[in-house]
Chains A and B, each alone.
Chain A
Amino acid sequence: MKKIKKSVAFVATLLLMTSGLNAYNVYSPSCFEWADSVATQMGFMQGWNYQQEHTAFLALFDECVALQQQ
């Protein structure tokens, strides 16, 4: 129950920020860790602002989930 609650909060926050993410896969810890790691490293290396890094994280996360589902 706690897991679902947190996941819903995660999606709700993303929706607030980015207005329109549908069918978000919230049960992909490996994708979360990978996207988090890549976005963090690239954010620093490339001198991204927080919003750029945030959208990069979301896009990387989705790409990873799509790959897992193939």
Chain B
Amino acid sequence: MLIKNIAPVILTLCLTFFSYSQSNGKAYYKKTSSHNFKLSKESGNNANASKLFKSVNNSISDMEFILTFNNSLASYEYIKKLDVDENSSTAQFNRVFSGYSGPYYYNFKTNNVTRKQGAYLIKKQLSSFDWVLTKEKLIINDLTCYKATTIIKQQGRRGELLKPAVAWYTVDINLSSGPDGFGGLPGLIIQLEFDKVVTTLEKIEFLDKHIDIKLPTKGKKMTEAEFDALMKDMVENRDKYYDKN
């Protein structure tokens, strides 16, 4: 009789402990890419440009990213390497083509993600991903993952670009985030397929102590649309920013 009464209490305590132990930790991601850049005939023969485009896939494979999380916040950052000049335009080129334009900061209480891009803070609601959940399953790193799909809208020379994204998430890890600012699913994204890049969870470690995460406060706040408009102006009106004479 006593055991019957105590059992739910023990179960609740166990679940609370498990839930707490899952709420702080670090997840590590790596990427593979299949970009295939070919210089057009009109661009002339430039060995250095060819080298830049040829090395992008290898450079992306060498990158590592860390998602640090607690019960209300998470941050996703590129792990800097000592042998890479991180400020060089080549390193920035490789990072952008890997799908990383961060760091990214998730706030699960307000359900949004903010990315810090130079002097700007660009906020996005996690619900705006508008995922389509499917029953398709895949085992990745011993975790049962479910497939979710969405279309990411971007702006470029061709006008509006509609790029499909596939996320494999697990409900076993109750964390509504993932790599490169993606999130808003019923569990952690274990693998993301987007824009010729596959990002996969390498390892995850849960900690039994609280991890302090600070959201960025310095920077000009803007929406994704405002940032896109700024980028469009910089790209389509480069002459405005440079005196050739």
Chain A residues close to B by CB (< 8 Å): 2-3, 6-7, 9-10, 13-22, 26, 29, 32-34, 36-38, 40-64, 66-67
Given A17-B234, A20-B87, A57-B238, A52 and B244 contact (CB-CB distance below 8 Å): no
B46 on the interface (CB 8 Å rule)? yes
Could you tell me if A7 and B89 are in contact, using CB atoms closer than 8 angstroms?
no
Additional pairs, 14, CB under 8 Å, beyond known A6-B242, A50-B228, A51-B101: A9-B241, A10-B241, A13-B234, A16-B120, A17-B118, A19-B118, A20-B86, A41-B40, A44-B157, A51-B96, A57-B238, A58-B89, A62-B88, A63-B49
Number of interface residues of B (CB under 8 A): 42
The A/B interface has a contact count, at CB < 8 Å, of 132
Chain B residues close to A by CB (< 8 Å): 37, 39-40, 42-44, 46, 48-49, 51-52, 86-90, 92-93, 96-97, 101, 117-120, 154-158, 161, 228, 231-232, 234-235, 238, 241-245
Could you tell me if B244 and A17 are in contact, using CB atoms closer than 8 angstroms?
no
Chain B nearest Cβ from A12, distance in angstroms:
9
